[in-house]
């Protein structure tokens, strides 16, 4: 005598066309790469004046033997006529650590991050704050020192 299964559950799976078809085929969830190609859609908008003020971030790196923590405060960013589909000029500034300053001028097209021009100025950065990295990489603490750096990169 054969017993018939009762309350059998059948699992189903919905595959979204936006999923990676190569990966889904590779793991056996679809049989062919016949997934419909997505129609390109654009959403155009412009923000007349994009302003971020009084930002505050604390970065912590727990991957080192001595934990590295760094505080960025008074973060400000401005961009006139911001649009994701065109080139934007973004300016920014912040306080790094206790007394360091950073300023940034960044021209970029978010559609293609391969086209950018970035100028970065660091002033009065207390390099003693970076002792967890010097200790990890060269086995010594940084006793004192200030750094000033100007970097201008065009990609």
pLDDT in tens, 18-49: 556 676 666 665 665 554 444 455 667 889 99
Cβ-based burial of 100 (10 A; exposed 0-12, middle 13-18, buried ≥19): buried
Helix (H) or strand (E) holding 52: strand 47-61
Q: What is the pTM for the complete model shown?
A: 0.65
**Over the stretch 94-122, which tens digit does the pLDDT of each residue have?**
999 999 999 999 999 877 777 889 999 99
Of the two residues 134 and 24, the one the predictor is more confident about is 134
Chain segment 64-80, per-residue pLDDT in tens: 999 999 999 999 999 99
């Amino acid at each position: 005598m054969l017993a018939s299964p009762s309350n059998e559950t059948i699992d189903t799976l919905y595959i979204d066309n936006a999923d990676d078809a190569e990966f889904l085929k590779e793991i056996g969830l679809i049989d062919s790469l016949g997934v419909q190609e997505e129609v390109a859609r654009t959403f155009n908008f412009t923000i007349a004046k994009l302003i971020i003020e009084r930002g505050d971030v604390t970065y912590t790196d727990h991957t080192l033997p001595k934990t590295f923590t760094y505080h960025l405060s008074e973060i400000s960013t401005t961009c006139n006529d911001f649009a994701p589909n065109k080139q934007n000029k973004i300016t920014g500034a912040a306080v790094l650590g206790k007394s360091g300053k950073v300023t940034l001028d960044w021209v970029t097209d978010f559609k293609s991050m391969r086209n950018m021009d970035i100028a970065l100025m660091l002033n009065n950065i207390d390099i003693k704050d970076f002792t967890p990295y010097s200790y990890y990489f060269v086995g010594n603490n940084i006793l004192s020192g200030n750094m000033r750096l100007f970097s201008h990169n065009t990609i």
